[in-house]
Structure 1
Amino acid sequence: MGKAVEFLNPDERAAIARGCFQVDPRSSNEKELRGLCPFHDDQNASFSYSPEKDAYNCLACGASGDLIKLWGHAQGKASPKEAFQAFCGQYKPQDQPAGDSVPTTEQMAAVWDQFPPLPPEMCSRLCRDRAWTEDGIKSLDLRLQTLRWNPKLGGFVDDRYKNRIAFAVRDDSGEIRNIRSYMPGAREFKLLSVAKGMGESRLWPHPSTLKDGPVWICEGEPDVICARSHGINAITQTTGALSWKKQFNLVFEGRDVVLAYDADGAGIRGADKAAASLSKVAASVRVLKWPDFMGRVDGAWPESGGQDLTDWFAKHRRSASELEELLGESPAIQRDPGRPESVERFFSGRSFQHAKLARELYRENPLIFDTKTKTLYRWNGKNWASISEMAIQQRAQALLQDESTMARISDATSQVAVMAAMPAEQELDNNPDLVPLENGMLSLSTAELLPHVKEHLNTYRLPVSFDPDAKCERWLQFLTETIQDAATIAVVQEWFGYCLTRDTSHEKAMFLIGPGSDGKSTFLHVIQELIGERNSSAVNMADMAKEHYRATLIGKLLNTASETEGAAFESDWFKAIVSGDKISASFKFKDVFDFSPYVKLMFANNRWPKVKDNSDGFYRRILPIKFKRQFKGKAIQKNLRAILIAELPGILLWALVGLERLRLQGGFTHSDDIHRTLVEYQFANNPVQAFVDEECLTQPEYDGQGLSVSKKGLYDRYRAYCTGYGFHPMNIVHFSRELLTILPHVKETRPGERGGSRQRHFDGVAHVDRGVI
């Protein structure tokens, strides 16, 4: 057994283990958790973990170890040492003093009398920042810690610099059994005790201080102080959320109880555990259901470190009356001493009622179902996020408990999708004027920041906030160092703004070209961070021909890929996606469907990608950006990416300026540098095609003009064209063959066919400034 046994009790170890692998509730119990092994592709639930023994084992792959090793694997830690340090940092009781010495009640009482009241300036700060009140502070007898218990010295020592908030934990006789102290905002040592560990778990403040009426049980002393400051009859236990003691139940016998634990996985499990125990004695028990804005992301709460009752008042500036309204949405668990939460409401006699379960699932979750893509979405407080059917099925399994079967779960899940189906005329992301950001919905037409509401039907948001005062000086310097050309940088600015929208009317993709070590990857990293991982995809050009790869473009704003040399790709799908044309796609093993993509395509290359298309329709869709400087040795700034990411709010403003200019101009800024780079790409892909597009007229453009040019004269023009761009020309034989392939209507005439002229000619083509040579 490892350090986890020293730090945590079996229930706490079990709770952490559940987050490290997929547990099968049907084959698990209090003594052993069974499920799918996280160390290999397990299909048969070969893995088990014992919270009592702190040991795991897989019968299939032979993996074994303790909780710290399992947790480190789940967290992606690179080494056992890193896993151990991270685990200790997160779960080791920081308030546990070294050694076994514990002060006596007489010592604690004596030192408590030396602690002065909290100074006025600290009280003012706590009232402002933590939403406490002076009455709440005085009623709980909060004091300023000036001494610290040192077990090695066997006494209290001077420690005035701590300036911590102290409170006494008393027993039924009024004697102090522990002194706890609190430091708001601390990352570690937030709560300290003079007793070993956190001392024996007790209720604080003493139950004798409770008033008549409902009792609110919070997770931690700071929340109780905040609650009592707002007139709420609150109490807590002095140990973790999962350590509810049955002895506490007697205090709440016949009373109405509200559990307001933290909005995270540990808090939810702790509240459920306490509720199950309290429901045997209390008149009623309610578990407060926090709204999504308290930290729920994509339908899920964080495992730890979630928001709490203090955040409700201090961070979100909500009131006690609003908290009471929220409580009204939390159904009471009526007293049922014989069993836990009943599943009888889903049955009529012996008959299972699928619709009742479906309605319960739909009532719990704000859901919509897109019938076009067969995708289920759940509101997370800021946007509609796609979820799998498995998430709904898991909740159905939890509600049915031992009565769950796959048939019942599947049928109810299907009914939920029908209930949540969007009307045929309704579309997601249907307002092109709104850009969803972390702190609201930005209107592009008015620059107004609107609140997040379900009715906007946005399925994404950018992971950046709108800050009208933000700057991005290092980003602008980076562009000057790498791209260098002012007009091209203007195009890049417009492109960033274009990527913020679902508009595809400008029909452009961006190709980044450079020799390597030139800033392309940093450039891609910045725009990926601006747009967000959830709003991006990474399909390369060749894979766009595959249906299930195209399906990953749904709802994405940006697709980036670093291309490697390979076979030439077909351009049909590329051109359709760039233009926002309706295309077909399918998820693996699902039906084919049609959708109109609005994703912007970006590719980074060290060499030009090969394409089986030399038409203007392909090249006019490309914005080729050349990176002109290589960074080597001391020129490399190792922390550059972090510096640029810190400027994302400023880069957002910069991109919005580019978007406004793009819309006013009706297109991207002209750049001679981009034009030269595009010609270079055309030449690299087909030099003769580039020459024809740039320098020649063809017969279909000038009906009846009799265009003709001498073979040698046109070839000389081709050679001059190549020399002007620094290209190496092919010989006249290969040139002629390629020209006739590109322009099949052109005919080569021989000597004698042109009235005695001995020079060979091409009929149907001419140099752009001559007509006839």
Structure 2
Amino acid sequence: MSQKPKAALADQHDTYRGNMFPGMFVLLSEQLGVSEESLVRLGLGYNPARNCWVFPERDATGEIVGLTYRAHDGSKFMEPGSKRGLTYAFNQDFEVGERRYSSGKHNWIRVAEAGVLCPVCGRPDWCLVSRDDPADPAAVTCTRNSGGSKRELKNGYLHILKDSGNLGGRGRVICDSELPVLIVEGQTDTAAALDMGFEAVGRPSAICNTSELEKVVNGKDVIIIGENDETVGIPGMEKTFINLEGKCKSVIKILPPDGSKDLRSWKNRFDLTADQFLEYVEEHGDKGVPSDILPDATGITIAKAWIQRERTVDGYPTVRSYKNTWVEFNDGKYKLVEKEILRGEVYRFLDDKFYVNETKQVKEIVPFKSSSRLVSDVLDALYYFGPITKDPPLWLKHNRSLPNPVDLIPFKNGILDVRKYLDGEIELYDTTPNLFTFTAIPYEFNPDQESSMWLDYLDDIFDGDEEKINLLQEWFGYNLVPDMSYEKLMMFIGRPRSGKGTVLHALSAMLGNEQVCSTSFKSLCGDFGYEPLIGKLAALLGDAKVPRSADSAQALEKILQITGADPVGVNRKGVRALPQVYLSCRFTMAMNLLPNLPDQANALEPRTNLIYFSNSYIGREDRTLKRRLQNEASAIVPWALEGLRRLRTTTEFTVPETSAKTMDDLRTMTTPAYSFVKECCVAEGENLVVQQDQVFDAWVVFCASRNMRAGFRPSFSQMLMSVCPNVMTDTIIDKNRSIPVYRGIELCEWVVKEVLGRP
């Protein structure tokens, strides 16, 4: 049905209101629990044909746009041709433009009915005077005289007799009040608010359009009272709040206490007064948008909300991008996290969330409809929080008062400042996402712990050799901190069942499994050999087997790169490669035999610590020892830190005397040039000189006898000087001929005679 004209609805309401008499107000007042005065102010009428009460609903200008019928059983329905509007006590001093003087009994009364004469033409019959004061009206519609009129109306000519009758109107459609305006739902709650002394506006429903409401209360202090109904009452309150926020002087929302559905039941249950109500609002009122309602549906808004509410610790986001991968802070350290895991978390976050969808007229609260594209937008927006481009350990937000992250060891009970500890002061900082590290020791630090079991075991396997125990202690301490400055690796060499694997297991237990990577020469040679080493303190090669020649050279190159703290490129499965990474893992290898690794440049030996395990426990193994030492892991830490203290004091690792021969054997096996010098040359003494051609010829014979390739003279010259740093190249002149020579070395006599065939 089409919308009825407003004037027709106004006339119809005027008729229904005229049907009321005092006893009828009393009847409905008692039924609803509101005052007769409030019902009168709301314009209550009665339709005898339908046997229903009638309430007018208005727009923001005060025009009646709809009539609501209330049956005696409480059911409600609308007059055909009506539309929903607002319920409020109309300010009779407010009129706007032509509407003020439109036809209808609510505006005019005939002079004959009022018993007065027309102030313009003096006749007592058909002219109209304004209802505000018929004896002294502000305006007149004269049916005869047009002179001096403002305009022609339907029933005559409009004459304005007083300033109060101007066409601009006065005040607002609701009366001014020092108290806030209450926003409620429906006519009865509006009446209850009026009874308490407030001006109020009733919405036709919880989720109605708020555009007209905004015009009525614009610039005022407002309190929105929701109904205790999660289906529509609370969402309706929130919708009203977000639409009025910023348009009113202040906006507060409040729900009735438990047991009260709405304002009317609350008022009647507790005989609520305005002061009591305002005191309750002061204590329980809410001026914010609920956390499950986001201001919009953009990826950056969702990302900020998710990070702030679920992924923030001490003001730092706990999910970050690190070199095209994702990391999350948990248990005192960062860990790599699969993108699919984060996508699932975003889906769960959005599952019960809403957003504000703003149109030209109104803001609606809409539930999120998660999609793959939306979730991808959220993850892309996480780059807003700043990708991490440098390698750990580092402070993400640094200041000069913070200690060097290389000197920090995160434990479960805090971050130990190693530098202070070594100086005799124990300080544990709170764990924080500001420290970007992939490592954290998985138990609490206790400086008073000591493991007699561990010390007895070391004394047994090393026969009390303090130099070996000291070197191992220094190595354990060095592995606790992400410090690569000493550029060393460790080899455990010895017969089977000599304790190498048990010590390796103890190192892993002390650091914690997540701080350690078990690998092999073969794995290191693979395309993704570096990837498992990211974020590890130690790389362990247990029972290491040297691969074939080509792979062994490649494995050695990779180990020396990492040990020397050089940057490496890391290929990763299914993810973009990292072009430059500084890894902080120390290599510890356990072998029965010395590795025959091709080290022509003698780079391995200077970077190697070596401990020889001389005892064998075959047939008398303690198969419970590893498990028992696992339980002693935390007690090994103070012992290891004492080793680190000694290392940083002396700046050198202890070199056991018993390891000297084994180290010499390692050089002999891995560096052929060293073997050549050892067997065929004299490199100590003054004024030693030898022709380069002679040395290279001897080298060629030496290689042939061992089925090795001699290579080219320049390469040999570099290898020779790498194993004999004091050897220098020079040129001498003999009979006007330049002869390249080495100074600081010469061939043994037997080599000159037997190999070169010279006297």
**TM class by smaller structure:** 0.3 to 0.5
| TM-score normalized by the length of structure 1 | 0.47
Higher Rg of the two aligned structures: 2
Structure having the higher strand fraction is: 2
